[in-house]
Amino acid sequence: MEEIKMVDLNGQYERIKREVDEAIQKVLDSTAFIKGPDVKAFELALASYLDAGTVISCANGTDALQIAMMALELKPGDEVITTPFTFVATVEVLKLLGLKPVFVDIEPGTFNIDIDKLKIKISSRTKAIVPVHLFGQCANMERLSAFASEYGLYIIEDAAQSLGCNYRFSDASVRKSGTIGTIGCTSFFPSKNLGAFGDGGALFTNNPILAAKLQALVNHGMIQRYHYDYVGVNSRLDTLQAAILNVKLKHLDEYNRARQSAAEFYDNALGELKDITIPSRSKFSDHIFHQYTLRVLGGKRDELKNHLEKSSVPAMIYYPVPLHLQKAYADLGYKIGDFPIAEQACHEVLSLPMHTELSEEQLYFITERIIEFVN
């Protein structure tokens, strides 16, 4: 059996190597390293795949979030609601812009924002909500959208882990994750469901005025060569990355299906085990399993992780410490017990190997090691 990896980028590359190498060589030959034709081509292809008005590429997912906040002209002191159980980037950009992160606890099943706990967090300074579609499954966007229109709030979707995920509204309409709110943000970090061979990110919006502004902001606020209407940033997607992403985008649905079938194997093998909770599925959203995350009950999570590692099965804790208890964010004034569901998740979650190249033999081996641990 081949070595089990948490993420197998090599196996995925091998399958499309010829096509990717040709695309890279073409960029090298053209030397159009910045704003080459592949960048526009990728933005258009992704917009068409997502059925999004406009896609604006940028240098990484963290920048995408920051640029979204800048485009909406959020001002220092404005409050932005999100959860403390996410990757740090979501909150980091708020602090960098002088905005105030206001946390809401998560749902125990989906790990996404608990909308029942949102209302009391709204103040006169609240300007936006950032739902993070964690681990590949959308937050309840229907209720969130209703909420945002009632209170006049922007929604900035953090779709870094959910690119390609479908969300179903109660009227049966279906939208892709990231295209429902005011602005959607995603990341092409190599291990994401659509990964580049380096950093990359993108913003989506259906609003043409915002789209034009985002387009300017990613490129120094420039609207026409050497004419600047905004204070912007330098955050462009390299042509090389765009060329690679153009090849890989054609495979995104197939990649997400491969993750789903690995998840199904895990579900079937682990669904009935004592002290193990398999990921729950939202009624409204597909799950594209950026991560396959168990809860291990009874305080045995770290023990199970060690047990797996002894058999060379990697497993990761996303995330071990919630953001409200991180030193860098201590000035927000939160304490232990403020977000009990997120805190409990940090003690119980364990993500299993998840990528597009897992074989049945490997999945069998992984699940057998878990079964022997609980028995």
Ligand X SMILES: *Cc1c(COP(=O)(O)O)cnc(C)c1O
* Amino acid at the residue 334: Y
H/E/C letters for each residue in 52-102?
CCEEEEECCHHHHHHHHHHHCCCCCCCEEEECCCCCCHHHHHHHHCCCEEE
Q: Which of 46, 160, 216, 249 binds ligand X (CB under 6 A)?
A: 160
Q: Which is nearer to ligand X, 182 or 187 (CB)?
A: 187
Q: Do the beta carbons of residue 313 and residue 367 sit within 8 Å?
A: no
Residue with tokens 């004592």: 274
158 binds ligand X (CB under 6 A): yes
DSSP-based helix, strand, coil % in the chain, nearest 5: 40, 15, 40
Q: Which is nearer to ligand X, 87 or 292 (CB)?
A: 87
Residue nearest ligand X, CB atom distance: 61
- Cβ burial, residue 45 (10 Å; 0-12/13-18/19+): middle
60 binds ligand X (CB under 6 A): yes
259/253 Cα distance (integer angstroms): 10
217/121 Cα distance (integer angstroms): 30
Q: Which range of residues in 154-162, 204-212, 237-245, 249-257 is near ligand X by CB under 6 A? A: 154-162
Q: Which of 36, 61, 84, 181 binds ligand X (CB under 6 A)?
A: 61
Q: Which of 132, 202, 240, 358 binds ligand X (CB under 6 A)?
A: 132
In angstroms, give the least distance from the CB of 161 to ligand X. 5
Q: Which range of residues in 13-21, 156-164, 238-246, 264-272 is near ligand X by CB under 6 A? A: 156-164
285 binds ligand X (CB under 6 A): no
Under rule CB under 6 A, which residues in 80-99 are in contact with ligand X? 86-87, 89-90
In angstroms, give the least distance from the CB of 11 to ligand X. 21
Q: Which is nearer to ligand X, 185 or 304 (CB)?
A: 185
Q: What angle do CA 221, 202, 181 make, to 5 degrees?
A: 95
For 114, the token pair is: 């608990």
62 binds ligand X (CB under 6 A): yes
Q: Interface with ligand X by CB under 6 A: which residues? A: 60-62, 86-87, 89-90, 132, 158, 160-161, 187, 189, 199, 201
